[in-house]
Amino acid sequence: MLAEREPVRIACLISGGGTNLQALLDAQASGALVSGHIALVISDREEAYGLVRAEKSGCKAFAIPRKLHTRDAFEDQLLHALQRERIELIVLAGFLQILSERVIQAYPGRIINVHPSLIPSFCGEGYYGLRVHEAALARGVKITGATVHIVNEIPDGGPILLQKAVDVFACDTPETLQRRVMEQAEWILLPQAAELVSSRLLKGEPTLVYPYTEEKHG
**What pLDDT, on the 0 to 100 scale, is given for residue 5?**
81
Tens digits of residue pLDDT in 18-69: 999 999 999 999 999 999 999 999 999 999 999 999 999 999 999 999 999 9
Q: Are 19 and 48 in contact (CB under 8 A)?
A: no
pLDDT per position as a tens digit, 84-131 = 999 999 999 999 999 999 999 999 999 999 999 999 999 998 999 999
pLDDT average, residue stretch 1-20: 87
User: Which pLDDT value is given to residue 140?
Assistant: 97
Helix/strand/coil (H, E, C) string of the chain?
CCCCCCCEEEEEEECCCCHHHHHHHHHHHHCCCCCEEEEEEEECCCCCCHHHHHHHCCCCEEECCHHHCCHHHHHHHHHHHHHHCCCCEEEECCCCCCCCHHHHHHCCCCEEEEECCCCCCCCCCCCCCHHHHHHHHHHCCCEEEEEEEECCCCCCCCCEEEEEEEECCCCCCHHHHHHHHHHHHHHHHHHHHHHHHHHHHHCCCCCCCCCCCCCCCC
Q: pLDDT digit string (tens) for 162-210? A: 999 999 999 999 999 999 999 999 999 999 999 999 999 999 998 875 5
Q: Could you give the maximum distance between any two Cα atoms of the chain, in Å?
A: 60
Mean pLDDT of the chain: 93
| Neighbouring-strand partners of residue 43 | 14, 63
Give me the catalytic one of 115, 133, 149, 217: 115
Q: Catalytic: 115?
A: yes
What pLDDT score does 3 carry?
A: 52
CA distance 64 to 6: 28
Res. 211 pLDDT band, cuts 50 70 90? very low
pTM assigned to the model? 0.92
- Residue 207: its pLDDT value, please? 83
pLDDT at 209: 58
Span 137-142, average pLDDT: 98
